[in-house]
Structures are given as structure tokens and as C-alpha cells.
Chains A and B, each alone.
Chain A
Amino acid sequence: MAAPESGDGNNGAARMVTLISSDNTRFEVEAAAASLSQTLQLTILDGGGGGGDGIPLPNVDSATLSKVLEYCIKHAPAAANGGAPNATAVDRAELERFDNEFVNIDQSVLYSLIMAAHNLEIEGLQSLVAKKVADMIKGKSPMEIRRTLGFPDPTPEEQAEMNAHMLEYGWAYE
């Protein structure tokens, strides 16, 4: 019988799986947490990742994977409850506080995270990071957005193209 998805194992011992990052670091984690990833869930349901085998993740480095797993471990209990319809307001507030703090990180880490979330199909993490970046650029002018995201100064060609568009949609900057 496959391990139940609800985290707690049959005799209190949760089923563990091993994930191997691109730089060959091994991470042992509860199957329920790893199963937040749609990609991993299939392998785990097939009985993979247990024992000495481990699941290789050639696209995710150890720094990113450790961050991804931090998210998964925190969100696993709520996910096991099917989106936590019976979660208390306190639980939800705690998850929200965790999420806010979790994405309060360097931009380059955010991008590594969103790519890992995309590869591993962790929808909640992908939209959390996407929302964070969206919040960083909302309400800003095109030049401010370029500066916020570390774009180099526009080439004369790019500048001319921007100017032409601004002329056409001038009201957006009035």
C-alpha cells in the first residue's frame, strides 16, 4: 500500500524521500512535503525516491532546493487538508506571514525559485514569487521598472522606440 498522502505515516513515522540537487547534495524530506510538486508526486506515488535511490533534480541547485523545501515543509500540512478548508484564521495568518517573509529575498534568488517552482510544478510557490515581482514593479514608470529590475540603460535604438510608444500612449504618463 502506498503511503498515505496526509503526511503522518501509519505508525507515526512519515515516509521519507531523498532529492538530489544538480550539485549532488542529498536532501531527505517527508514525501508529503515533496508531493507539493506535481512532478515529484508522480514519481513518489510510483514508489520512487525511497531507500538509497533518491530523485535527481538536474535543474535545481542545492541553495534553491533548500529554499524550495522550506516552502514545501511549511505548506504541506495545509495542502494535505485539501487547501485547508478547516484551517483556523490563525493558521492562515501564520502561513501568510511566512510567505511574506519567505519572498523577502534577493532578486536573483527569486528568479531561481520561480524557475524551480515551474520545473517542479509547485503552483503555490510559482504564483507567490510572481506576485512578489509584480508588487515590485506595480505603479512604476517604464524607466523605474528597468532600474528596479537591473536593466542596463536603454540603447539609443531602444530609447527611440520607447519614445515613439510614449508619444502614442502619452496619457499613461500625464
Chain B
Amino acid sequence: MEPVAKLFDDLIGEILLRLPQDDPACLLRISLVCKRWRCILADPAFRRRHRALHRDPPVIGLLRVGMYHIPFSSRFVPIHPGSRCPAGRDLLGWRVLDCRHGRALFMTQAPPPDERILDFIVWDPLTNKQQRLPRPSPPPMLGKLFNAAVLCAGATGSCDHCGCHGDPFRVVFIYTTLPAAGAATGNVTSAHAQRLSVIDRPPQSMFNGPLWMLRSIEDSGRLGFVGVEVEEEPSFCIHLLWRERSRDGVARWVQGRTIKLQTLLPGVTLPPPSGPQELPNAKVVGVAEGTDVIFVYVSTDEFGNVYMIQLSSGRAKKVGPYYGSVFPYTSLCIPGKSKKAKHLVSCVLF
């Protein structure tokens, strides 16, 4: 028997917890060493300890629009350039809509003669498995205003979403039956399970730009949002805002930290603030939900660049040119249970 076998599971777990965080395939390779190690990794207790030691799951890569001249194309870009896993790849014919809980959602044109109808595909970057969804009713059509999200179908609070990528998932569509211009553009909306919550915007005096939901703290009922705005000085600032439910059950907006973008990107020459009618010269273009990692676009040259910023550490990294919104992929890269995932499709009309 190998000497390491005399260790009990907790101690093997202690060793595996200390593998480097910048090699996403590490735990995946570990899971192939033997069945016992695979079981240790698959145990939710291991993921809890991983979270206690390393906080949030690492951002492994991101999905973005692939090429401007091809209307339906996306690209998976690994964050660690040397990483083979999952490797960078082009996904032609697919346009990314969302990436969450270890899965990505794409739209694609239905085969002729239904090209105006959109079909949807859920892709697991870890296994490269794809699943075409049954068409929702009514089917979203090309040119209509809608949005969609993919999420774990596990009950709220029962899953840490670090190893559920092979489990049942839910896809939620939100589309408006109103003319595009009349849609509720002023509100932040979040659809959870079968319920649609409409969250009023914060007062203009507090924050006036677009907001991204960063983190929900289940126990305290707090929702964290982030946005970039030009301050009076003028300089770009990252604003953190909380939506908080007080004891009497009334939700209100609370101003969190404000961080100057220049302090996070000291080596970058920031552009001047944009005029009211112009496109913004700096903005949030994606967040890794459930972590404190955000992606910020800065118009530094012709196309502009996207930077990944971890708010707690202040660490920033250039991740490439700007192609529109980015959809970060976070994962511990632990194999899921190998089974055919069932899925649910929900539609929300408003």
C-alpha cells in the first residue's frame, strides 16, 4: 500500500487544499489519481474548507463576443495565459448571453427556414459538453429585446455552486411585451426561481450610472452592487452600494466604499471623462457574481482595454481588448457527477 494511504481523508484534503490556485487543472488531474481522492474532492466539506482558506472560487476565464464581423460568435479566453484548461476556443455560431454556476448560455439562429427564431445552448467549459434547449414559448425572435440567464436548479442556499456544473440547471428568460423604448429601463431586475423582483434604482444623488449585482449575502438579506461613475473632481470612481433590508422589512440603498479607478490602475493613463451625450470612457463590463472580482473597460486606445480587478486586494490585470460585455467563468475545476443533467426553462414576461 502507498504510504500516503495511511492518512485519513481530512489530511489528504489538507494537502489538496494547498495546491496552487493559478493552475485550474490541478484539482482535475488530482481527481484522476484514485477513486478515494476523487471522493474527497467531491465531498461538499472539501469545498467548504476550500472556501474558508481561499475565499471565493477563482476566475478561470471569461466569455465574450468573438469577432465583430461575425454576428454570432463567442470566444472563451483563459485568464492565466499559460493555462491549457479550459483552453481558449472560438465558439462560432453562438452568441454568449450568460455564464454562471459553471455553465454558459448561448443563443444561436435556428436552422433554416426558421432563421428568425433563436435557439439556446448550455455549455460546460470544463467538459465541453453542450445541450440544446427546447424552444421556450413564445420563442424569442431575432431583434426582440430580451435577456436570459442560466443557473443551478438547486434550492437557494443549498448549493455552493462550486461543483454543481453536471447537475440540473434552470434557464430563465426575461423579455418585454412593451415596445423597446417603453420597457422598464430604469430598474434593476432580478429573476430568482419563479419570482420576479423589481428593485428600485438608488436615488440619483447616490448613484446615477448602470449597476451590476456583485454579491448576495443570503443570511443578512444584503445585495451588493457595483458601478463606475465620474465624480466631480473629475475622475472615475468605483462605487459599491448595498441594498439592505432593515429590521422592519423595508429595503433601502446604502452607500458602500468608493474607490478611485486610478489607484487600482496606477500604470494606466485614464481617458478624460466622457461628455453627457458620449459613450462612457470607463465602465463596468462584467462581474464574477458571488466574488469581489469585477471587469472594467477603459478607453485607452482605439478599442480600449478590459481590466480584471479584485476589489478586496486591489489587484488588477489587463485581460485583453474590449469586445463588449464579459461573462466571467469561475470554477474550482472539480469534476461533477457524470450524469445527464435535467433542465428547466422558465419564462418571465413583463
Contacts and interface: CB of A to CB of B under 8 A. Distances in A.
Contact of A111 (B7, B23, B29, B126): B7
Contacts of B32: 142, 162, 165-166, 169
Contact of A145 (B7, B33, B87, B126): B33
> On chain B, which size bracket covers the interface?
35 or more
A166 B87 CA distance: 15
Contact of B86 (A108, A131, A151, A171): A171
Interface in A136-174: 137-142, 145-146, 149-152, 154, 158, 161-162, 165-166, 168-169, 171-174
Given A149-B2, A151-B2, A172 B18 contact: no
Interface in B184-224: none
Nearest to A162: B32
A118 interface: yes
A172 B83 CA distance: 9
B19 interface: yes
A133 interface: yes
Nearest to A107: B3
Interface stretch (B9-17, B90-98, B142-150, B172-180): B9-17
A100 interface: no
A65 interface: no
Q: Which of B11, B32, B34, B35 has the most CB of A within 10 A?
A: B32
B23 A139 contact: yes
A141 B29 contact: yes
A115 interface: yes
B4 A138 contact: no
Given A111-B4, A141-B29, A150-B3, A171 B87 contact: yes
A35 interface: no
A55 interface: no
A127 interface: yes
B4 A118 contact: no
B19 A142 contact: no
Interface residues of A, number: 36
A134 interface: yes
B64 to A, nearest CB: 19
A130 interface: yes
Contacts of A60: none
A126 interface: yes
A156 B21 CA distance: 32
A141 B28 CA distance: 10
Nearest to A112: B6
A114 interface: yes
A105 B229 CA distance: 56
B338 A168 contact: yes
Name which of B1, B29, B335 has the most chain A CB atoms within 10 A of its CB. B29
B127 interface: yes
Contacts of A130: 11, 14-15, 17-18
Interface of B: 1-4, 6-7, 10-11, 14-20, 23, 25-26, 28-35, 84-87, 126-128, 335, 338
30 contacts: A107-B4, A115-B6, A115-B7, A131-B18, A133-B15, A134-B17, A134-B19, A137-B15, A137-B19, A138-B19, A141-B29, A142-B29, A142-B32, A146-B2, A150-B2, A150-B3, A151-B4, A152-B1, A154-B34, A158-B34, A158-B35, A162-B32, A165-B31, A165-B335, A168-B127, A169-B28, A169-B127, A171-B84, A171-B87, A173-B29
Return the 8 tightest CB-CB contacts between A and B, nearest first. A142-B32, A134-B18, A172-B25, A130-B14, A151-B2, A133-B15, A150-B2, A130-B15
Given A111-B7, A149-B4, A171-B85, 20 more contacts: A107-B4, A111-B3, A114-B7, A114-B11, A115-B7, A115-B11, A130-B11, A134-B16, A134-B20, A137-B19, A142-B32, A151-B4, A151-B34, A152-B2, A162-B32, A168-B127, A169-B32, A169-B126, A172-B85, A174-B87
